[in-house]
Amino acid sequence: MSAAAATVSPSAAENPLTEGLERLPVPATTLVIFGATGDLARRKLLPALYNLAHDGALPERFHLVGVSRREKPHEDYRAECMEAIRQFSRRTPDEDVLESLLEQVRYVPGVFDDDEVYASLAEVLEDFERQAGQPLARIFYLSTAPAFFPVIVEALGREGLAHRDGGGAEGPPAGAGEQDERQVAVIIEKPFGTSLAEASELNQRVLSVFEESQVFRIDHYLGKETVQNMMAFRFANGMFEPLWNRNYIDSVQITAAEDIGIGGRAGYYDRAGALRDLIQNHMLQLLCHVAMEPPASFTADEVRNEKVKVLHAIHAPSADEVARMAVRAQYGPGRAGGSEVSGYLEEEGVREDSNTETFAALRLEVDNWRWAGVPFYLRAGKRLARKVTEIAVTLKPVPHLAFSQEGSLGIRPNQLVLTVQPNEGVSLQLGAKIPGTRMSIRPVNMEFLYGTSFLSQSPEAYERLILDAMRGDATLFTRNDEVEAQWQICDPIVSAWEAEPGPLPQYEAGSQGPRQARELMAEGHAWRSI
């Protein structure tokens, strides 16, 4: 597939945090998607690949291989890929780009624990390399149920597909020099384990086959523009960093609210719950981006070193502390989108006596010099008033307000809000004078929205993450010690909740969540309205 190099805007090229990243080469690559006919592949991965091709970001030689259970010829899988891209791409596909992208797509059928599947896959990969006359980078994307992660990784190891040199059992393709070494990587979707013990075991099994530098544990929140912009916002603007500490910041709230229920995901969600599904991964990552120290350089290890330090500074609760630090609840019947909706326990596939939480809230503290005494409030839930993911940083109030309160409207401390979804942007709440003869104050917002400021559509998170994995840049992926540090915080909470009998507190669908969540707040603090 022929593709022009991705362009870099002057502002991006001049940014010291991102300098050089856009220029990292993308080697000739074969991307193998395990679970190629699943929902994630259809809705996110295939459209992401198309949009990368449309933007000229893929290498000139790029191949796609799908691996899944159902038997079908290459042509049928190719047609399914085209249909998925036409349906879910963020832009209307250009048919010439689409044809070029999928010109040599291949499909390998079979179950993931069958060694014959990997032998067939090796033949396909070697055939592509014979055509190219050179080793091709191999990226294995595990878009499957978590139970298959170690199964697939270990099978790749047995077949020799995890090795950076050679070409499987037959060695390197004809014409390849001995000095050639291919890039080989594995991308692993979440959830990465359901407990600290599971995550540690999975890490051991993965790292027995791949080196850590080859493993890309994906968290799609880290590919969102607002999350990435947190780094630029903090470390490229001198006006904020001097205030980014316990002397000026009163509290931080991180919210991941959804207005939908579990839909058809009862099989997964009733085993996971809000804490495992969102807080253990996505929301702790957002906390790390807020609280981390400036890295020495914007490289994968330097950035992730700083995030791990934050996680190690968070006090993991003991069993008797969980009730003071964490709240859980389930949504009951209510109204959503103008319609009556059923409660969680009435959803299809949910156990009648389920104690799985659909809402979870935590109060955490980062016990280090910068953040000592500043509460970090995290909440995630389904069937809430609206869909929004945001980070709200509230500054301490001014020590003395000389203005008269008469005629003023709700004077409040300054608040910085970074909206991750649905409308990515940043707003800063300030106190301003109301026009008139009196010195009366009211809050006003200064807002920055990606869509209006850059007059272009932000790329999907998976576009950035897939491209970074192909480049070998792991900055936006989680490292093994990072995953385990996240579980060290959440594991005691999960254990305490599992030991408690139900039923759980209920909150009305379409509401702000359970009243019990207010009990986590320190005096003078309140949850932001969703």
* CB within 8 Å of 131: residues ≥ 6 apart: none
Cα separation, 8 vs 415, whole angstroms:
33
Name the nearest CA neighbour of 288 among 238, 222, 235: 222
- Six-digit token string for 452: 């209006």
Tell me which H or E stretch contains 79.
helix 74-88
Cα separation, 503 vs 358, whole angstroms:
13
> Contact 331/509 with Cβ under 8 angstroms?
yes
E-assigned strand segments in 69-164: 106-109, 137-142
E-assigned strand segments in 450-524: 506-509
Name the nearest CA neighbour of 434 among 410, 399, 469, 453: 410
> Contact 381/258 with Cβ under 8 angstroms?
yes
Q: 282 catalytic, yes or no?
A: yes
DSSP annotation string for 325-379: HEEEEEEEEEEETTEEE--GGGSTT--TT----SEEEEEEEB-STTTTT-EEEEE
> Contact 479/213 with Cβ under 8 angstroms?
no
Look at phi and psi of residue 109 and say left if phi exceeds 0, alpha if psi is from -120 to 50, else beta.
Answer: beta
> Contact 361/378 with Cβ under 8 angstroms?
yes
Catalytic residue among 54, 63, 220, 282: 282
User: What is the set of active-site residues?
Assistant: 282
